Amino acid sequence: MDVNDYLLRLENNLMLGSGRWVADFTESFWDYPLGDVVFDMYVSATVRPKGFFLSRVAAWLTTPNYYVACFAYSHDPELGRLSQVLNTISTFLKKEEFAWAWLVIPHEGPFSRKAKSMVENTSIREIGIALVDLNSKEIVHSQSHWGRQMVRFIRCFK
């Protein structure tokens, strides 16, 4: 599986698959420029589901309305620019008033031990980070709440 195939599956899984359990992912951009970084994919979502009339009323009464996002960035598997990418996402979250984001870093091959360690030791609360090895299907994630949560939604290899 190459990166594009994986991103298509991820996009589909977020919009139509298990991603709907966590948020209503509605809009997807490919090659999305943000500051100096061009993300492979950016999918935005709201946590308030739409549904038909009664579902909408129920959601309006019971669910807070905040926005979330999923970014994918495959151009830097060694994570040399990780802090710049995270800063870009943090700035975006603050500016657009998004609550949290996932950063998925897919790669056709193993990540270095240093890269894995960097991700596991990253402690940004509002950004969950995951390294996805497309060959071995191994996922390494950050230890924040969103980092732990995101794994089951980005595991879409079939």
Contact 108, 55 (CB under 8 A): no
The tokens for 109 are 């091959």
Nearer to another protein, 9 or 155 (CB): 9
Q: How far is the CB of 27 from another protein (least distance, A)?
A: 5
Whose tokens are 């994986």? That residue is 6
The stretch among 25-33, 87-95, 126-134, 135-143 that binds another protein (CB under 8 A) is 25-33
Contact 131, 108 (CB under 8 A): no
49, β-bridge pairs: none
Q: For the segment 31-90, give every residue that binds another protein (CB under 8 A).
A: 31-32, 50-51
Among 5, 27, 36, 78, binds another protein (CB under 8 A): 27
Nearest to residue 103, comparing CAs of 141, 137, 156? 141
Partners of 106 in the β-ladder: 132
Q: Does 97 bind another protein (CB under 8 A)?
A: no
Name the residues that contact another protein, by CB under 8 A: 8, 11, 15-16, 25-32, 50-51
